[in-house]
Amino acid sequence: MDRRTFLTGTGAAVALTWVGARPALAASQATVSSLAELQQAINGATAGTTITLANGSYAVPSGSPITIGNRHGSSTAPITIVAASRGGVTLTGEQSFVFSGSSDVTISGFAFRQSTTLEIPADCPRIRLTRNDFQLASAAEHWVVVRGDDAKVDRNVFHDKSTLGVYLVIDGPGSEAMAQRTYILRNYFRDHTYGGSNGGEPIRLGVSSRALSTADATVEYNLFERCNGDPEAISVKSSGNTIRYNTVRSSLGGIVLRHGNANRVESNYLLSGSNGIRIYGNDHLIVNNYVGGVAGAGVVLGSGTERDHYEGEPSDSRRGNDAPDRVTIVLNTLRNNGQAVAGESQRTVPPLGCVIADNLLVGDSGQLVDMPYLDGISWSGNVTWGGATDGNIPSSGFTRADPELTAGTDGVYRLGAGSAAINAAALNHTSQVTDDVDGQARTAPYDVGADEYSTAAPVRHPLSATEVGPGTA
């Protein structure tokens, strides 16, 4: 009878010793127990191949990374490189996987502890990083950089960074283009404690030179906790992206549209942190978000150093703030924050053609609205309540009435049966959104704020650590 013996040791790679003839595996399967065997299997991989690396800790030699070059799976049959058990393979050393000229490759289940950035280059489309644990050495500034199109980064955990740099950067080829259609799903970003004032974002989606490039990225169902490396937890510096269904909790960082145009920020929960949603640039939609208990303003509609960014713009000008034009801020609930809606006076180019309508603004102290520039904003249908004063919101743009908010078991305050916000929206939003922050259907005329009154259980809710990261479905 053929048999095999497993030899294991703490911190060592698993060695496989075969007695008798080694059983044949299917052509599309390979099980390996050393970096040399892994590289050999990768070199021969074709569409549908799955390579499983035995559990253990593997020190990748300096100058000899695991190369994935000119390897191509397909959309229905990717090449998959997977740890024998989720989190059971630790990769240390300067580098781990180095990609070039490859496509449709999945990396799953690894604990990355390398000292330099893991990069998906521009010539590698459809690369997936899933169910991995990222805690790179302090020498690594940015941990993962995506430049290839149609990458998927899902169900990973990024944690415990205390130095300058970003957990996940989405860039692109050259200096101005963006990677297309990146999908960032159900990741857990936590515990970044960098003490500097800038440069420690969990996600940076672009950079100033790429601001006018449409990326069409989707960032959804991710959880951010104790992300204190930067005031921006999700830093958007490109155009045409969707940021939805995320939870940011107990963090310095908020959601910031720093550069770029036509981004959609929808149905996110921002809870008990320092910053809410901050906006620059043009043609954004901010809808259905719940911001509660943040020290700053729930929404900051910024001002600019520039009216608009443009192609061929000098780099110094491009790094400046683009004043918001035609931004729509509707159906949000902003409860018990430092302020509900605020602007900026330190820059002199004001917002233009913006709409702030049908939002629920509630606070117990201070003032709800503080906008230094009002001429470029249309206000209607907002409901204010609480001990906070209304501030300088125009009298025609709001009604002070009791929304009868009631706390749910998840800590989110929703409308009560007698709420003055029910059916009170001034505008027709059916072309903009069809459900509320909780995923429940909206019925015209819509209720004011992020919640559409319902006695049914929410479909969506603030995420917990058990609903994101490597162990989730």
Query: Which domains, from first to last, does the chain contain?
Result: 65-467 (2.160.20.10)
Question: What sign does the CA torsion over 161, 165, 166, 169 have?
Answer: negative
Give the model confidence (pLDDT) of 419-454 as tens digits.
Answer: 999 999 999 999 999 999 999 999 999 999 999 999
Which residues, listed in sequence order, are joined to residue 306 by a DSSP beta bridge?
322
Q: How far is CA 230 from CA 270, 339, 433, in A?
A: 15, 20, 30
CA distance 361 to 336: 8
What's the rounded Cα separation, in Å, for the pair 18 and 2? 8
pTM: 0.93
End-to-end CA separation in angstroms for the chain: 38
- Residue 110 confidence (pLDDT): 98
pLDDT at residue 8, as a whole number: 33
pLDDT reading at 21 higher than 90: no
CB 449 within 8 A of CB 331: yes
Task: Give the residue-averaged pLDDT of 412-422.
Answer: 97
Can you give the pLDDT at residue 196? 82
Percent of the chain topping pLDDT 70: 94
More confident residue, 3 or 322: 322
pLDDT tens string 103-120: 999 999 999 999 999 999
Model confidence band, residue 315 (pLDDT cutoffs 50, 70, 90): confident
**Percent of the residues in the chain that have a pLDDT greater than 90, as a whole number:** 91
Cα–Cα dist 381/385, whole Å: 13
Dihedral (CA of 191, 192, 197, 200) sign: negative
